[in-house]
Amino acid sequence: MKKDMNQDLINEIVALSSEQDEKLNWKILEFIEIYEEQKREIQQVQKQNDFFVKQWDKRNILTQEKDLKKDKMLEQQSRLASMGEIIDAIAHQWKQPLNSLSMMSDMLREDFKLGIVDQQYIDELDDTFHLQIDFMVNTLSEFRTFFRPSTQDELCYMQDVLSSVQILMKDELLSQNIYLDLDIDKTIKINANKNEFKHLFINLINNSIDAFNEKKITERKIFIRCYRENSNIYIEVEDNAQGISLDVLHEIFKPNVTTKPEGKGTGIGLYMCSQIVKKNNGTINVHNTETGAFFTITLRQTTKL
């Protein structure tokens, strides 16, 4: 409607000018021609802009899809890298109870020959057998839960998450002679993927273990603290492994960045830690202390007591 009105107005001006002066009429016609040309140019530019905007949107969508695929691939690589270590841990943690069961079986045979097996003996042996078996079942249950895919978040106690990590890494910590100190507010809950947070802590602890071994540190300590301050939850992971090289400290959370010797590190672990924290509306930072590395995780989320 507006376009028709504009055209009618132009026609009226042209008619009036032709009545008044021929030179004025030509000037007005020239002006209208320039106006129409500029209008066509503006329309062409607008079409080009619309095209570029659409292409830009498509590129953004493709980039986001590629980034999502890359993150999933890195997550899978990180989980597979951890799997070998975890399977070794299962073997180590089952070795002791299996040895105990074997010894008790041999003792039962010998004690039966000596005639000292009675009901009390059988009851005590039965209790010991079940104690060892329960330990093995609980250990296996923790590992199965850890490896079972889970996409749903759940409300879980941070204390339970760390207790599970302790079970998963118990033998590794003992064999590496590492003192793990936990100072966790037992009331703190997080709404998150429980397995992902187990993975996060296992990555951080394994990094400390690698640093202890690389730098041949004998007195080995890892401290994990979790507390609430105002509306935030703070998780601190600190070790005495002499810290992270300043050459990579500022980019340690980027993919494929590692402080380990060539062939021994993937550079995926800390990147995945940062992605897990980011996914849960948090941030992760690290700095060096006089004795080692100090990671701080801040979760900005409402918790329920």
Distance in angstroms (rounded) separating the CA atoms of residues 286 and 245 = 12
- Determine the pLDDT at residue 113: 86
Q: pLDDT class for 2, splitting at 50, 70, 90?
A: very low
Mean pLDDT of 189-208: 88
- Determine the pLDDT at residue 24: 60
Query: At which residue do the structure tokens 């953004």 appear?
Result: 60
* Range 122-140 burial, b when 16+ CB lie within 10 A, else e: eeebeeebeebeebbeebe
Per-residue pLDDT tens digits for 49-66: 777 777 776 676 766 666
Per-residue pLDDT tens digits for 276-286: 898 888 999 99
- Residue 79's contacts (CB-CB under 8 Å, 6 or more residues apart) are 147, 199
The one-letter code for the residue type at 191 is N
3-class SS at 156? strand
Largest CA distance in the chain: 138
Distance in angstroms (rounded) separating the CA atoms of residues 79 and 86 = 10
Kindly tell me if the per-residue pLDDT of 294 is higher than 90. Answer: yes
Strand partners, 234: 227, 298
Q: pLDDT class for 183, splitting at 50, 70, 90?
A: very high
Query: At which residue do the structure tokens 């890892």 appear?
Result: 222
Alpha-helical (H) ranges within 115-177 are 119-147, 158-175
- Determine the pLDDT at residue 201: 93
Phi-psi sector, 152: left (phi>0), alpha (psi -120 to 50), beta: beta
Query: Cα dihedral angle (12, 15, 16, 21), rounded to 10 degrees?
Result: 150
Per-residue pLDDT tens digits for 77-136: 655 555 665 666 666 667 667 777 888 888 888 888 888 888 988 888 888 788 778 777
Distance of CA 224 to the CA centre of its chain: 18
- Determine the pLDDT at residue 46: 77
Distance in angstroms (rounded) separating the CA atoms of residues 244 and 264 = 16
> Looking at domain 153-305, which of 3.40.190.10, 3.40.50.720, 2.60.40.1930, 3.30.565.10 is its CATH number?
3.30.565.10
pTM: 0.58
More confident residue, 99 or 183: 183
Distance in angstroms (rounded) separating the CA atoms of residues 124 and 132 = 13
Distance in angstroms (rounded) separating the CA atoms of residues 43 and 50 = 10
In the numeric block, which tokens belong to residue 16? 């009036």
User: C-alpha distances in angstroms, 163 versus 69, 133, 198, 239, 279?
Assistant: 32, 20, 10, 19, 23
In the numeric block, which tokens belong to residue 245? 């090289």
In the numeric block, which tokens belong to residue 187? 């009331």
Report the number of secondary-structure helices (H) and strands (E) in the chain. Answer: 7, 7
Q: pLDDT class for 305, splitting at 50, 70, 90?
A: very low
The secondary structure of 36-47 as a DSSP string is HHHHHHHHHHHH
